[in-house]
Amino acid sequence: MAQPLIKVPPTKNTLIRLKKQARFLEDGHDLLERKRELLTRLVYERIGEYRRLRTECEQLLAEAYRSLAIAHLRLGNRTLRQAALGIEPAIAIEILPRRALGVEYPAVTSHRLPLKPVGLLGSDVSFDTARERLAEATVMLAQLSEVEIALYRLLEEQRKAQKRVNALKYNIIPRYHRTIRYIQSALEEEERNTLFQVRLLRSRDRKAASAD
């Protein structure tokens, strides 16, 4: 179903103004289309990176939980809880804002810190192995979180850009063009009527002059 015309008076000034607005909207459509294409490209790049990091995280987490399970069996739940109370961070994380194509998302930088010894009686190498594996998995999870948040926000912006492009292409711009054609047709019809009336008046004048 065709959208209704824009409610404006069919005058030459209106026609000129609508043509300028239509050109502005077409330029805006082209810019949005380019932005949508760039966002789509970034989304596909992030999807590949996200899948790679997710696979690596799953592998590291599986190894970390396996090492933790071994430490739990050897040391017991109570000993591990006591050790966790006084343990110091094993990684350092810095979060800064980053922007791409108008989309802001956190840039996460993470790196390992040297593991400090824990004065735990009866501990063995399984405890330190579990700490190492968990620290490695946490660093990778921090990288995955950045990519996941960026991917989500890029997808949202890409959907918004696609929605605006479609609205301009299939609704707003065609409505302007239909209104412009209607005004042009109305002005042409008015001009034809004016010419007809002028010719009619001239014809009457000539007949009146010949009659005199």
Any domain includes 9: no
CB 173, CB 29: distance < 8 Å: yes
State the DSSP H helix or E strand holding residue 27, giving kind and residue range, or none if neither: helix 12-75
Q: Lowest-confidence range among 3-7, 163-167, 169-173, 201-205?
A: 201-205
pLDDT band for 6, please (50, 70, 90 cuts): confident
Any domain includes 149: yes
Any domain includes 7: no
Any domain includes 212: no
pLDDT at 203: 74
Domain boundaries, position 180: 24-204
**Could you read off the pLDDT of 52-100 as tens digits, one per residue?**
999 999 999 999 999 999 988 888 888 778 777 777 788 888 988 888 8
Any domain includes 171: yes
Based on the structure, what is the number of domains in the chain? 1
pLDDT band for 180, please (50, 70, 90 cuts): very high
pLDDT at 189: 86
Q: Nearest CA to 62 among 133, 110, 131?
A: 133
Mean pLDDT across 101-125: 78
Helices 173-211, 12-75: inter-axial angle, 10-degree rounding? 180
Q: Domain containing 105 — which CATH number? A: 1.10.287.3240
Q: Nearest CA to 144 among 52, 71, 13, 210?
A: 52
Any domain includes 10: no
Q: Which residues contact 123 (CB under 8 A, 6 or more apart)?
A: 75, 79, 83
Cα–Cα distance, 71 to 38 (Å, whole number): 48
pLDDT band for 144, please (50, 70, 90 cuts): very high
Measured CA distances, 68 to 55, 61, 113, 132 (Å): 20, 10, 19, 10
Neighbour count for residue 194 (Cβ, 10 Å):
10
Residue 120 has pLDDT above 60, yes or no: no
Any domain includes 158: yes
Q: Lowest-confidence range among 29-38, 43-52, 103-112, 194-203?
A: 194-203
pLDDT band for 123, please (50, 70, 90 cuts): low
Quick one: what percent of the chain has pLDDT higher than 70? 92
Counted residue by residue, the chain has a size of: 212
Any domain includes 103: yes
Residue 1 has pLDDT above 70, yes or no: no
Q: Is 171 helix (H, G, I), strand (E, B) or coil?
A: helix
pLDDT at 124: 72
> Model-level pTM?
0.75
pLDDT band for 211, please (50, 70, 90 cuts): low
Neighbour count for residue 176 (Cβ, 10 Å):
21
